[in-house]
Amino acid sequence: MNKRTKQKELTKQNIFDTAMCLFLRRGFIEVTTAEIAKEAGVAHGTVFVHFPTREDLVLAVIDSELATAQQRIDRLLNKSSDFLTLASSYLDYLAEHEDFHALLARELPFYKPELRNRIIFRQALIQMQFTDLLKEEPNATYIAQYLFGMTHYYLSMREAFSTEGSVIQRFKDSMMVTMKTMMGGFGQ
């Protein structure tokens, strides 16, 4: 491969990595293209050589993160056969990737409808797979809604809780207890 072509790919990767790092730390809305360029050590214009618009860069990062997330969750779904185990693993996964998911929870309402719907669609798919695992349970929908609703709530409120470490980890036990209760409690 050309030295020039190789350098070009390196530069693109550098911009992409820098952008991802900044976006995950401070959000897709706040970080500017000038800042990404400066942090990556390239000229402002170079960003637009590799990503024609800012939105293209945002989409590239989001797509990459979503793909990783999807893989991880598919693995969880294949491994776990009962709902509570799956829920527990899912919470661990969220805690591990909390930056990205807190970001989505906060900023999702401000994304362009097309992107927002794509993200919501993915989350709805995951939610359905969880609900499937609850099919013997008469109130599967309530329990799944609880899991996704409360995690969304804790994630979007992360700053307010001002916890050291993960909010999801902090509230995991309380959520697990509640879901256990809900599974036994209905219809009695």
Partner DNA sequence: GTATTCGCTGAGTATGCGCTCAATGACAAT
Partner DNA sequence: ATTGTCATTGAGCGCATACTCAGCGAATAC
Q: Which residue do the tokens 């900023």 mark?
A: 107
Rule CB under 8 A: is residue 138 a binding residue for its own copies?
Answer: no
Angle, CA of 87, 90 and 91, to the nearest 5°: 90
Rule CB under 7 A: is residue 114 a binding residue for DNA?
Answer: no
Minimal CA–CA distance to 146: which of 107, 185, 104, 96? Answer: 185
What does the per-residue mask of binding to its own copies show for 103-132, with x meaning CB under 8 A? --xx--xx-----xx--x------------
Hey, CA dihedral for 182, 137, 88, 119, is it positive or negative?
negative
Please choose which of its own copies, DNA, none residue 71 contacts, taking the beta carbon within 5 to 8 angstroms, the exact cut-off set by kind. none
* Type of residue found at 47: V
What does the per-residue mask of binding to its own copies show for 20-59, with x meaning CB under 8 A? ---------x------------------------------
Q: Which residue do the tokens 């072509």 mark?
A: 5
Q: State which of positions 39-68 bind DNA (CB under 7 A).
A: 42-46, 48-50, 52-55
* Angle of the 167-185 helix axis to the 140-156 helix axis, nearest 10: 160
What whole-number distance in Å separates Cα of residue 28 and Cα of residue 19? 9
Rule CB under 8 A: is residue 174 a binding residue for its own copies?
Answer: yes
What whole-number distance in Å separates Cα of residue 3 and Cα of residue 88? 48
Q: How many residues bind DNA (CB under 7 A)?
A: 24
Rule CB under 7 A: is residue 8 a binding residue for DNA?
Answer: yes
Q: Contacting its own copies (CB under 8 A), which of 1, 2, 5, 160?
A: 160
Rule CB under 8 A: is residue 146 a binding residue for its own copies?
Answer: yes
**Shortest Å distance, C-beta 63 to DNA:** 17
